Chains A and B, each alone.
Chain A
């Protein structure tokens, strides 16, 4: 187990320093809202902080129209319920790997579409509760993504790029306990519980849309990025309902460590 975790971390680190791609590191601060019927009937909201690393590269140098992307995103939030009497600590990790096809729409304008294989895990902890102190969100799925890109070259030393992308869950599977089921029971009867508590997801039980708006100030030596994220997703299973709503301002930088330009 420890070896697998070590290998996984090493793979992540290797991807994060990949040289043949555009590497974008960002930090975001915003507001997160979460509802989770396993923990509470109330909505919890609070400030959240996220760290993101996005890597984009072409599969082949000869074909600049197909490129891959890899995103890792870690988020923490400390939220309070709407009556401000209980606190929820939220930690999530998101990894997605995507393939995109770029269409040239005109001078400076591009449109890319593709799909993402997405793995997401979050732990929500409400210390005030009894027995149901923790709730886990785990999901693996396929997402559709569409992004517009616009590059405005001001001079040889400075240009501005703008990207706006939308993603939406398509199919996948996710974990949700049955209505009223405790995590103690799941732990006691893991083999039975997991087959019952893993749900196939599609538009019928999981909907949402996430958007990312980035402004890149592209200097000769590097890229400064400012952005805005909005993420809204809601899902239901076995009488439980969940939702997440996240709005963030983002700042970061990007390094293009090769001649490859996916955009």
Chain B
């Protein structure tokens, strides 16, 4: 009997010994690079718009595999290859790092400092909930939406509306808002509309060719989904280059509302809805797959110009002044 128990324990020991070393899993660099290249080749949606020769990218980065010895080397080659797309929606997710690309905002003014907003305008008494910061600045309501990752609850917006009841207008600040749920952006945008309004188009890839797209489908903002009714209020939306992804869609939608003025810098774009796929090594790649357009069928992936360009200068940062907020307050007071 003891002999069998010993045999079982020995077998269990052998099973335990077969556990793979997570630091250096066995992988084929070529297989994984090819899988990544093919996934992007077949499913990425902005090749023609960005004028990228993806075949030559493969040639260049395949050569770099010669020096790949560890997963970190492979990650470097793959993330460099993805960086050629200059797309904030393209990321490589691994257990030890996530690649990202900053080329789409590096050369633009920052146009935002929440520290200045707090110190110079909100003070210490502002209210906040789930990434939403709001208070009144004199006779104007100010609401900073830092993310659309979480939907704003209807009841929250009703309280915000009540808090701003005596304000002449509302500033909605979406600077440095990197996006999140498109449905959350839609629900907030719907607050500024009275009627069902056509705001854009969406299409998707129907094949592996770079230009295999479906016919465009219209996108509407439906006021039936709105959290509150701000269609009669004077609203100014503040943007900068880091207003990205679903925030870019939000800005596109509100640009069709009559009572909304957009002030600040050009948005960051990210008009392609990202999807994700697994690679053989188990890493995940996220990439733009579903392009969206404005109602004139123009791409919004490169960003959306505001109605008025206003930038924050170095002097403004030193003086702790935000001219974008000041201009928004001016617009609201003039409208009043």
Residues in A with CB closer than 8 Å to B282 are 81, 83-86
Residues in A with CB closer than 8 Å to B183 are 184
CA distance A131 to B273 in the complex (A): 8
Residues in A with CB closer than 8 Å to B202 are 185, 188
Contact of A180 among B219, B274, B281, B289 (CB under 8 A): B289
Residues in B with CB closer than 8 Å to A153 are none
Whether the pair A180, B290 counts as a contact (CB closer than 8 A) is: yes
A58 CB, min distance to chain B CBs, angstroms: 50
Tell me the total A-B contact number using a CB cutoff of 8 A.
83
User: In residues 161-194 of chain A, which contact B (Cβ within 8 Å)?
Assistant: 178-182, 184-185, 188-189, 192
Contact of B280 among A42, A184, A189 (CB under 8 A): A42
Does chain A have a CB within 8 A of B204? Answer: yes
Q: Give the residue among B35, B93, B204, B205 with the most A Cβ atoms within 10 A.
A: B204
Assuming the contacts A85-B282, A128-B276, A129-B275, asked whether A182 and B290 have C-beta atoms less than 8 A apart, the reply is yes
Does chain B have a CB within 8 A of A238? Answer: yes
Does chain B have a CB within 8 A of A132? Answer: yes
Does chain A have a CB within 8 A of B109? Answer: no
Whether the pair B275, A83 counts as a contact (CB closer than 8 A) is: no
In the complex, the chain B residue whose C-beta lies closest to that of A193 is B217
B130 CB, min distance to chain A CBs, angstroms: 20
Does chain A have a CB within 8 A of B311? Answer: no
Does chain B have a CB within 8 A of A40? Answer: yes
Contact of B274 among A40, A41, A131, A178 (CB under 8 A): A131
Does chain B have a CB within 8 A of A130? Answer: yes
Assuming the contacts A81-B278, A130-B276, A185-B290, asked whether A179 and B207 have C-beta atoms less than 8 A apart, the reply is yes
Whether the pair A180, B205 counts as a contact (CB closer than 8 A) is: yes
User: In residues 280-303 of chain B, which contact A (Cβ within 8 Å)?
Assistant: 280-284, 286, 289-290
A33 CB, min distance to chain B CBs, angstroms: 15
Does chain B have a CB within 8 A of A108? Answer: no
Which residues does A use to contact B, with CB under 8 Å?
A: 40-42, 81-86, 128-132, 178-182, 184-185, 188-189, 192, 238-239
User: A128-B284, A182-B289, A185-B204 provided; 16 other pairs, C-beta below 8 A?
Assistant: A41-B35, A41-B278, A85-B278, A85-B282, A128-B276, A129-B284, A132-B275, A132-B276, A179-B207, A180-B45, A180-B289, A181-B206, A181-B290, A182-B275, A184-B290, A189-B217
